């Protein structure tokens, strides 16, 4: 997952109304246009997220292009991070989850549920930029391996690369207090994947949301481009490993969307849930997108003119792709997305 990346950029590429100093803090407009601007939508979105549009769109499925009648959205009505991650992992929205505070999730996630099964116990790992993720996955209760924020990874045999990453976490100046830049959790997760070979690996990136809140459209686009590259590296890595090749599924999605205007693109969520904010409610920030790629997912590409898919469906879809019935244990969870699973 990558935090708060809009469907607009995923499906349309760079937004010309934001590629300027006034609305996007863009200092070098020509350089940004050279990197990401193309005359057609097809070329523009491929320039921003080449893996999604050269691999996933040809071999998997993409949901969430509202302009093509493909609606993917959250149901929690709050449209910010903890409620979105909670809905994703649990399969339902919980009104008790109404802040981004470090509160232990009262609900069991699909990862915790899987970890109780012999086939998955101790073989699930989560890596995140945001230091609230251990609370969302309730590492205290679930006993999942959750490495987040600036915490070193010490629960696995040390390698030279992992030792270097731990030092970088401790010694790199902190631009954001609650999370490092995305390369830290990504390369930590990649090192763990190669050495420990988990059954389920979760990665949460944060730069797209942080740079958007800062109003920095250049770095927001760079973060989206980098997230796409990281997804490519993960996919190519698992395809190079016999333990994963040919029977691994990749799912990629955000926790929420953002506003649509030249000012509101920076933010998300309703003002009623964020009374300290000065901006108005942004109900359009409920819109998200989803990408599925793997041997069990028919290659239907970008989905158009279909029934809406919901964030509540992701937990059961993850379980179903692993051959498990999450709905039987959690009836209030959303049902698996049928089209992404071969029957």
Q: Which domain holds residue 180?
A: 7-340
Phi-psi region of 25 (alpha: psi -120 to 50; beta: other; left: phi over 0): left
State the number of CA atoms in the 13 A half-sphere of 157 facing the CB: 6
Q: What is the mean pLDDT of residues 131-139?
A: 98
Q: What is the pLDDT of residues 245-257, one digit of tens each?
A: 999 999 999 999 9
Higher pLDDT, residue 5 or 273: 5
CATH of the domain at 146: 3.40.720.10
Q: How far apart are CA 131 and CA 139, in angstroms?
A: 12
In a domain, 186, yes or no: yes
Q: What is the pLDDT of residues 211-257, one digit of tens each?
A: 999 999 999 999 999 999 999 999 999 999 999 999 999 999 999 99
To the nearest 10°, report the CA torsion of 188, 190, 193, 194: -110
Question: Across-strand partners of 62?
Answer: 291, 302
The answer to whether 213 and 169 are in contact (CB under 8 A) is: no
CB-based contacts of 139, cutoff 8 Å, min separation 6: 145, 146
Q: What are phi and psi of 73, to 5 degrees?
A: -150, 165
Number of domains in the chain: 1
The answer to whether 64 and 257 are in contact (CB under 8 A) is: no
Q: How far apart are CA 305 and CA 39, in angstroms?
A: 25
In a domain, 2, yes or no: no
Q: What is the pLDDT of residues 262-271, one digit of tens each?
A: 999 999 997 4
In a domain, 172, yes or no: yes
In a domain, 242, yes or no: yes
Read off the pTM. Answer: 0.96
In a domain, 1, yes or no: no
């Amino acid at each position: 997952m990558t935090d708060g990346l809009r469907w607009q950029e995923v499906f349309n590429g760079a937004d010309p109304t934001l590629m300027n100093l006034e609305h996007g803090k863009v200092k070098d407009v020509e350089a940004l246009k050279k990197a990401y601007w193309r005359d057609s939508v097809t070329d523009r979105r491929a320039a921003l997220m080449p893996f999604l549009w050269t691999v996933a769109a040809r071999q998997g499925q993409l949901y969430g292009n509202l302009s093509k009648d493909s609606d993917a959205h959250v149901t929690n009505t709050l449209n910010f991070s903890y409620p979105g991650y909670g809905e994703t992992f649990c399969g339902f929205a919980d009104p008790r989850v109404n802040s981004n505070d470090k509160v232990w999730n009262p609900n069991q996630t699909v990862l915790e549920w899987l970890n109780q099964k012999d086939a998955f116990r101790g073989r699930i790992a989560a890596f995140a930029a945001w230091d609230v993720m251990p609370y969302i996955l309730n590492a205290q209760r679930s006993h999942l391996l959750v490495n987040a924020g600036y915490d070193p990874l010490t629960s696995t045999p040390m390698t030279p690369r992992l030792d270097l990453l731990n030092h970088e976490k401790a010694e790199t100046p902190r631009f954001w207090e609650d999370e490092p830049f995305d390369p830290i959790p990504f390369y930590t997760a990649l090192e763990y994947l190669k050495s420990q070979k988990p059954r389920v690996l979760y990665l949460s990136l944060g730069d797209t949301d942080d740079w958007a809140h800062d109003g920095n459209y250049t770095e927001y686009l760079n973060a989206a481009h980098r997230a796409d590259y990281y997804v490519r590296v993960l996919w190519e890595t698992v395809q190079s490993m016999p333990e994963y090749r040919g029977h691994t599924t990749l799912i990629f999605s955000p926790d929420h969307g953002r506003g649509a205007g030249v000012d509101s693109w920076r933010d998300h969520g309703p003002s009623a849930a964020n009374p300290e904010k000065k901006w108005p409610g942004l109900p359009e920030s409920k819109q998200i997108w989803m990408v599925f790629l793997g041997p069990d997912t028919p290659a239907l590409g970008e989905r158009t003119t279909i029934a809406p898919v919901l964030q509540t469906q992701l937990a059961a879809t993850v379980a179903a792709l692993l051959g498990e019935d999450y709905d039987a244990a959690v009836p209030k969870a959303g049902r698996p997305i049928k089209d992404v699973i071969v029957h």
